[in-house]
Amino acid sequence: MQPKTLFEKVWDAHVVRPETPETPAVLYVDLHLVHEVTSPQAFTLLRERGLKLRRTGRTLATMDHSIPTLPRGADGKWPFIDAMAAAQVAQMEKNCADFGVELHGLGDPAQGVVHVFGPEQGATQPGMTVVCGDSHTATHGAFGALAFGIGTSEVGHVLATQCLLQRRPKTLAVRVDGALGPGLSAKDLILAIVAKLGVGGGTGHVIEYLGPAIRALSMEGRMTLCNMSIEAGARAGMVAPDDVTFQWLAGRPRAPKGAAWEEAVAAWRKLPSDPGARYDREIVLDASALEPMITFGTNPGQGIAVTGKVPDPAAEADRQVRATLEAALRYMALTPGKPIAGQKVDVVFIGSCTNGRLEDMREAARVLKGRRVRIRTLVVPGSHAVKRAAEAEGIDRIVRDAGAEWREPGCSMCIAMNGDRLEPGQYSVSTSNRNFEGRQGPGGRTLLASPLTAAAAAVAGAVADPRRVLEGR
């Protein structure tokens, strides 16, 4: 038999009707995650066409984008940014009730950022197809699932038919040799990968992350890695499941139990790519050569080592590349050739579907413990489960004692829909995934980094090498 990649195995197992030159494949969806921002018009479509939700058991909803990250007021009301956000949340509740969708909404103990919530419920499992009206659905590929973001029309298609029309994407192997040094994490690795591929370099491809540095990552780290596959233009990123995956999943609410668990694990062990399986493209990186990474520009591919200097457009031979770099530096108001370390920072944001998990909270706490933040610092756990677990370890106290804010779960300042945002001209160091112009508020300037680097910036009040901060230098 022809050796197959992990992607090919998952794809082939979900083809309801194969693609032809005339028609795309009909691909079955095992898990459809739904949130309040990209679903209302899809439910409207169902109502207009008189359609029902096809599979309630495969559809799971939460709320994250529009919701406040401050607790309910003394009057019992949620402090929504405006009436539109409140109306969107109310519409979500109505849509889920009308169509029979299981919703873990505001106030629910399982509520969280959709890509934190799905995995921790055990809903995301190896070998599945997972979709959501959100580009960071790539996160779930950390389990060896084929997971990708879809638009609202497609959300409607999946609600009504549990299927999507898809052309088979190409495959891209990203092999990472060596080992990450101290003070580095999956975030530094993915920022380095996106810098190497470029912000559109993965377009049309599904990435599989391979190699010893990937195997050494925790599940949280693998989720961070796969999460930002889309920042290189790849709709999905995948990591083959192994014992790390199975241990993380065992006992979670929606994971199989007893004999079904043993059976599932046996099937999951067959998912990794076969020896000799071929990819359409392959790139190789050495993790040992990396330094903590930070972005300086207005797309996630514009990353450098925290010990590095802001690139000089004058050194770029290609006119278009130079123009893009100049536009980014103009927006960011950064000086070419100047070291990025020491750059003044106004706000630090630690959270999001990229870095809002327990391990990320622990990393932030490692830096914040016994130190004081010099600037506004928001620490936003990715879900109530993360928040409870962190509080059980005393992380909330460490955060508050350092002078930082410990918030309720949500997307918060990653997307700045809920009022958590930068003021025009402010700089943030953020553990989120996008540094596009205005992403964290109109006129805001975002530098993406790991939780360690973000926490180091919070205590230094400027961009700093987390290794030096941890060593007290």
Partner 1 sequence: MEPIKFIETKTVVLPRENVDTDQIIPARFLKVTDKKGLGKVLFCDWRYEAGGAPKPDFVLNRPEAAGCRVLVAGDNFGCGSSREHAPWALVDYGFQAVVSTRIADIFRNNALKNGLLPVVLDPESVRKLLAAPGAQVRIDVAAQTVGLPDGSSAKFPIDAFSKYCLLNGVDELGFLLDQEASIAAYEAKRP
Residues that bind partner 1 (CB under 8 A): 16-17, 21-24, 26, 28, 37-38, 40-41, 44-45, 49, 51, 65-66, 82, 84-85, 87-88, 91, 133-135, 137, 149-154, 156-157, 160-165, 167, 169, 199-200, 203-204, 230, 233, 235, 299, 320, 323-324, 327, 415-417, 424, 434, 436-439, 442-443
Q: Which two tokens stand for residue 233?
A: 């233009």
Shortest Å, Cβ 157 to partner 1 = 6
Q: Which two tokens stand for residue 4?
A: 């197959």
Shortest Å, Cβ 271 to partner 1 = 15
φ, ψ (nearest 5 deg) of residue 42: -70, -40
C-beta closer to partner 1: residue 154 or 363: 154
- Angle (deg, nearest 10), helices 186-197 and 219-227: 30
Alpha-carbon span 457 to 473, nearest angstrom: 14
Q: Which two tokens stand for residue 412?
A: 């918060």
Sheet containing 405-406: order of strands:
405-406, 376-379, 347-350, 427-430, 445-448
Shortest Å, Cβ 47 to partner 1 = 12
C-beta closer to partner 1: residue 371 or 445: 445
Contacts (Cβ under 8 Å, ≥6 apart) of 198: 232, 301
Shortest Å, Cβ 46 to partner 1 = 10
Shortest Å, Cβ 315 to partner 1 = 18
C-beta closer to partner 1: residue 312 or 326: 326
Shortest Å, Cβ 58 to partner 1 = 10
- Per-residue DSSP letter, 310: P
- Of 333, 346, 321, the residue nearest 297 (C-alpha): 333
Shortest Å, Cβ 272 to partner 1 = 20
Place of tokens 């450098």: 304
C-beta closer to partner 1: residue 332 or 469: 332
- CB atoms inside a 10 Å sphere around CB 152: 17
C-beta closer to partner 1: residue 200 or 212: 200
C-beta closer to partner 1: residue 65 or 467: 65
C-beta closer to partner 1: residue 136 or 222: 136
Alpha-carbon span 433 to 187, nearest angstrom: 9
Shortest Å, Cβ 222 to partner 1 = 21
C-alpha dihedral, 260 to 265 to 267 to 271, nearest 10°: 150
Length of the chain as a residue count: 473
Measured CA distances, 21 to 18, 128, 393 (Å): 10, 26, 56
Shortest Å, Cβ 329 to partner 1 = 14
- Of 149, 40, 163, 147, the residue nearest 101 (C-alpha): 40
Environment class of 415 (CB within 10 Å of its CB; exposed 0-12, middle 13-18, buried 19+): buried
Cβ(131)–Cβ(83) below 8 Å: no
Beta bridge partners of 428: 347, 446
C-beta closer to partner 1: residue 9 or 65: 65
CA gyration radius, the chain? 22
Shortest Å, Cβ 349 to partner 1 = 15
C-beta closer to partner 1: residue 13 or 470: 13
Shortest Å, Cβ 138 to partner 1 = 10
Beta pairing, strands 129-132 & 445-448: unpaired
Return the SS3 of 175. Answer: strand
C-beta closer to partner 1: residue 21 or 275: 21
C-beta closer to partner 1: residue 19 or 177: 19
Return the SS3 of 177. Answer: strand
